[in-house]
Amino acid sequence: MLVSNNNSQFNLSRIRHQFPALRRSDGVVQAAVFSDAPGGTQMPMDVIEAMSGYLHKGTANLGGVFSTSLETAELVKQARSITGQFLNAPQNCIVFGANMTSLTFSFSRAISRTWQAGEEIIVSMLDHDANITPWVLAAEERGCTVHKMTVTDEVNLSVSELQRLLSEKTCLVAFTLASNVTGSITPARELIQAAHDAGVKVFVDAVHYAAHHLIDVSELDTDFLVCSPYKFCGPHLGVLYGKSELLESIEPYKVRASINHPPGSWENGTQNFEAIAGLIACIRYHGWLTDSKPDRAGLENSAHWISQHEEHISEQFLKGCRDIDGVTLYGSPETLNRTPTFALTKAGRSSAQLAELLAERGVYAWSGHCYALDLIRHLRLESFDGVLRIGFVHYHTEDEVFRVLNALEDI
Ligand SMILES: Cc1ncc(COP(=O)(O)O)c(C=O)c1O
């Protein structure tokens, strides 16, 4: 199982060996295929051990003068620093929270206090509901209007649509870097530029994108970004990035007794320190993929390998899909500007039935709306009960892609 990356070779077996869950079989002859990855990835041993290691050593809250509390403070500092490398951001711009949805709800409550009645916000139909409803509810409370960017025929966002909706009343644009349903990668840099040209701040959802490409907040120039490490082999945790001057100037929704300056002032209640320990190990794991350090250069090496491997997987899957009778793919049929996440229907079966039949064959996959309610409605897929979503990440093999294709054909 060798995968080429320029002139070097990386052994996928070595990578998969790190993941005990990938050996799970559920009584089916072969090991399970975790093509439910867009819903959450599996964890390598180093991450599992880092989480339990922190608890073994002794846990404490922040702010004490005794060693476990001091060690926890050091752990959080290290986690901000390494996450800064992962996002190409200064460490004081990294905020931890329970998950993306909770962070977005609390952040939207805080920033919306700066909005005036009659102002407007723009969200997108392509997005997961976690980047729509928090904004819609905040807008309702503030007497603001919500506009939704519609999607193109290729199931993506377009700069012209954003420009059509932007006005002097717009106070925020929120959209995703990649669709968790169709895998479409949005033209984020251009969308952010268009919003900034109109003097509007941007909040992007990188939850799906982060598993597939290295985020660069500095290059994107986004004002805010959220992601969730459990989608890229880390623990169940959320991360928010904000430009430092904005985290300073916006008043967080917080209790009086907690820290008064960012990033801590944006972190509500006691953090999940064992997950934060796991996040450090997760980003180190990303460097380890190509025997690199978990600094920006090392993470870029690994991201390059991930892109190449995932492009190959996408190519195999897209090619195989074309030959299966009755299968319709939603989103781009090309490998360009997509992640290896595929939204499908198959004539004669509901998506829930497809997922059940795949599960019987040891293939895990999600079906339904995958929380992208507006997109499923826009694609008129309610009669199919949403889509069947097949998703791969860097630890998947070509053999697994063929197993999914064979199972789909067989059904
Ligand atoms: C694109 C996208 N955004 C947001 C979320 C919500 O993330 P969390 O589970 O961390 O709240 C998900 C979860 O599936 C997602 O796929």
Name the token pair of 10: 């990386």
List the pLDDT tens digit at each of the 411 positions of the chain: 434 444 334 589 999 999 999 999 888 778 999 999 999 999 999 999 999 999 999 999 999 999 999 999 999 999 999 999 999 999 999 999 999 999 999 999 999 999 999 999 999 999 999 999 999 999 999 999 999 999 999 999 999 999 999 999 999 999 999 999 999 999 999 999 999 999 999 999 999 999 999 999 999 999 999 999 999 999 999 999 999 999 999 999 999 999 999 999 999 999 999 999 999 999 999 999 999 999 999 999 999 999 999 999 999 999 999 999 999 999 999 999 999 999 999 999 999 999 999 999 999 999 999 999 999 999 999 887 999 999 999 999 999 999 999 999 999
Contact 172, 198 (CB under 8 A): no
- State the closest ligand 1 atom to the C-alpha of 209, by its place in the atom list counted from 1: 1
Whether residue 331 has its Cβ less than 6 Å from ligand 1: no
- State the closest ligand 1 atom to the C-alpha of 230, by its place in the atom list counted from 1: 10
Phi-psi region of 331 (alpha: psi -120 to 50; beta: other; left: phi over 0): left
Q: What does the alpha-carbon distance between residue 277 and residue 395 come to, in Å, rounded to a whole number?
A: 22
Residue nearest to atom 14 of ligand 1 (CA): 39
Specify the residue for token string 């995958």.
370
Residue nearest to atom 8 of ligand 1 (CA): 100
β-strands 145-149, 170-176 pairing: unpaired
Q: How far is CA 57 from the centre of its chain?
A: 31
The reply to whether omega before 333 is within 30° of 0 (cis) is no
What's the DSSP call for residue 252? P
Name the token pair of 146: 């919500």
382 forms beta bridges with: none
Q: Residue 204 C-alpha to ligand 1 middle, in angstroms?
A: 12
Whether residue 247 has its Cβ less than 6 Å from ligand 1: no
Name the token pair of 43: 């964890």
Whether residue 176 has its Cβ less than 6 Å from ligand 1: yes
Contact 129, 376 (CB under 8 A): no
Q: Which of 167, 247, 224, 246 is closest to 199 using CA atoms?
A: 167
Domains, the chain, with CATH or none = 2-31+297-410 (3.90.1150.10), 49-286 (3.40.640.10)
Q: Indicate yes or no: pTM above 0.85.
A: yes
Whether residue 206 has its Cβ less than 6 Å from ligand 1: no
Q: Residue 180 C-alpha to ligand 1 middle, in angstroms?
A: 8
- DSSP for 183-247 reads -BBP-HHHHHHHHHHTT-EEEEE-TTGGGTS---HHHHT-SEEEE-GGGTTS-S-EEEEE-HHHH
Whether residue 172 has its Cβ less than 6 Å from ligand 1: no
Mutate to test the pocket of ligand 1, among 180, 225, 227, 376 (most ligand atoms within 8 A of CB): 180
Whether residue 274 has its Cβ less than 6 Å from ligand 1: no
Specify the residue for token string 């962070």.
103
Q: Residue 65 C-alpha to ligand 1 middle, in angstroms?
A: 37
Give the length of the chain.
411
Task: Collapse the DSSP code of 400 into the 3-class scheme (helix H, G, I; strand E, B; otherwise coil) and give the result.
Answer: helix
CB atoms within 10 A of CB 16: 18
Mutate to test the pocket of ligand 1, among 128, 209, 376 (most ligand atoms within 8 A of CB): 128
Q: Residue 38 C-alpha to ligand 1 middle, in angstroms?
A: 9
Q: Which of 363, 354, 330 is closest to 344 using CA atoms?
A: 330
Whether residue 101 has its Cβ less than 6 Å from ligand 1: yes
Contact 345, 387 (CB under 8 A): yes
227 forms beta bridges with: 239
Q: What does the alpha-carbon distance between residue 133 and residue 146 come to, in Å, rounded to a whole number?
A: 10
- State the closest ligand 1 atom to the C-alpha of 104, by its place in the atom list counted from 1: 11
Specify the residue for token string 């008064």.
260
Task: Collapse the DSSP code of 120 into the 3-class scheme (helix H, G, I; strand E, B; otherwise coil) and give the result.
Answer: strand
Task: Collapse the DSSP code of 62 into the 3-class scheme (helix H, G, I; strand E, B; otherwise coil) and give the result.
Answer: coil
Q: What does the alpha-carbon distance between residue 164 and residue 298 come to, in Å, rounded to a whole number?
A: 40
Contact 275, 265 (CB under 8 A): no
- DSSP for 276-310 reads HHHHHHHHHHHHHTTT--SSHHHHHHHHHHHHHHH
Whether residue 99 has its Cβ less than 6 Å from ligand 1: yes
Q: Residue 105 C-alpha to ligand 1 middle, in angstroms?
A: 12
Q: Residue 69 C-alpha to ligand 1 middle, in angstroms?
A: 31
pLDDT in tens, 285-303: 999 999 999 999 999 999 9
The residues, any chain, with a CB within 8 Å of residue 394's CB and separated by 6 or more, are 15, 289, 305, 306, 309, 310
Q: Residue 93 C-alpha to ligand 1 middle, in angstroms?
A: 21
